[in-house]
Amino acid sequence: MNVIDYVFQQLVNAVSLGSLYALIAVGLSLVFGILNLINFAHGDMMMVGAFAALLLESAGVPFPLALLGGVVFGGAAGFVMERAAFRPVRGAPDVTMLLTSLGVTYILENLGILLFSASPRNFPLPVWLGHVYKLAGGRITFTNINLLTLVFSVLAFLFLYWFVTRTGVGLGMRATAEDLVAARLVGVRVNLVVVVAFVLASAFAGLAGLLWAAQVGVAYPLMGFTPMLKSFVAAIIGGFGTIEGALLGGYVLGALEIAIVAFLPPSVSPYRDALVFALLIVLLLFRPGGIINVRREVKL
């Protein structure tokens, strides 16, 4: 295997992982931009998406529909979460919402354990999804799952871009994220904006969850927590509270993780997360606003 092939193979891996981080990070950023809320329960929407798809498939639903089902269930869970948990505490200090999100996480994860047990379940995949493509005489390989991840992430991002630039609710979303008071003054329907943000974010997380499960082959109730934390980091690296920052950060984090495993000695691999977080700290020391340098102003 020559160097170029190896680098290319790692690039495939990085894009695949980065897409998932970006999908999750975008949702975190959407909600944070609007409510100043770091939603820890966001990761649990991955579980919802993955298990919805898994159960639908086990019940004999064709894979594409099961996939759609996972996304829809994720979005629906986001709707319920906003209504039941976050709307009642809106207007309370930010820390109240933060604690609420921790509470929601514990409830959802334990509910997941109760319903599905804590042990990983196989994520059934149609045979064609496991098909391995070989390039350069078998030195570079990728599967349909890698392709699916990339295609669906890009579709999701294009949809999001269309939504926030072409629809009234989308414009209202960006306006609210920039300046809540000014948005209220021009008549943006803030309640609608908030619930749509939760639904979109959760649908994206649901998609990320089922793609994640498809990549690793299993789903389990706590599967979302670590990816959520890392995507949070990704969103900060890029520039928290912005869509572009979350996308950029997701891919940068994916690339960093893959690069550490691929290009450093194997003995370093176990410290992958520590290294990534150390790099993050260094980055933020020099560029507190992330790569795209977000400056958040606090306005009354």
Partner 1 sequence: MPEMLALDALTVSYGPVAALKGIDLVVQEGEAVALLGANGAGKSTTLRTVSGIVRPRRGGVRYRGKDIGRLDPGEIVGLGVAHCPEGRRVFAGMTVLENLKLGASRRRDEAGVRQDIARMEELFPVLGERRQQRAGTLSGGEQQMLAIARALMSRPRLLLLDEPSLGLAPLLVETIFDTLAELKRQGVTLLLVEQNARVALDLVDRALVLRTGNVVASGGAEELKRDPQVVEAYLGGGR
- Contact positions vs partner 1 (CB under 8 A): 165, 168, 171-172, 174-175, 178-179, 181-190, 299
CB of 82 to partner 1, least distance (A): 18
CB of 168 to partner 1, least distance (A): 7
Pick the closer one to partner 1 by CB: 74 or 172.
Answer: 172
CB of 175 to partner 1, least distance (A): 5
Which residue blocks in the chain are alpha helix, DSSP H?
3-35, 44-58, 63-81, 94-116, 144-166, 168-178, 180-186, 190-216, 225-238, 243-263, 272-286
DSSP single-letter state for residue 83: I
Type of residue at 192: L
d(CA 61, CA 57): 5
Pick the closer one to partner 1 by CB: 147 or 171.
Answer: 171
For residue 225, the SS3 value is helix
Helices 168-178, 3-35: axis angle to 10 degrees equals 80
Pick the closer one to partner 1 by CB: 134 or 184.
Answer: 184
Which residues are within 8 A (CB) of 145 and not within 5 positions of it... i.e. 6 or more apart? 125, 129, 130, 211, 214, 215
Pick the closer one to partner 1 by CB: 59 or 181.
Answer: 181
CB of 172 to partner 1, least distance (A): 6
Q: Taking Cα atoms as reference points, which of 75, 109, 69 lies closest to residue 198?
A: 75
Give me the phi and psi of 141, to 5 degrees please.
-125, 145
Pick the closer one to partner 1 by CB: 112 or 290.
Answer: 290
Residue 44 has a CB neighbour count (10 Å cut-off) of 31
Contact 20, 230 (CB under 8 A): no
d(CA 266, CA 28): 32
Q: Taking Cα atoms as reference points, which of 254, 230, 234, 256 lies closest to residue 243?
A: 234
State the pairing for strand pair 121-122/218-219. antiparallel
CB of 296 to partner 1, least distance (A): 12
d(CA 130, CA 86): 40
Pick the closer one to partner 1 by CB: 287 or 296.
Answer: 296
CB of 297 to partner 1, least distance (A): 9
CB of 183 to partner 1, least distance (A): 8
DSSP single-letter state for residue 264: S
Torsion over CA of 251, 255, 256 and 260, rounded to 10 degrees? Answer: 160
CB of 25 to partner 1, least distance (A): 18
Pick the closer one to partner 1 by CB: 224 or 290.
Answer: 290
Pick the closer one to partner 1 by CB: 81 or 188.
Answer: 188
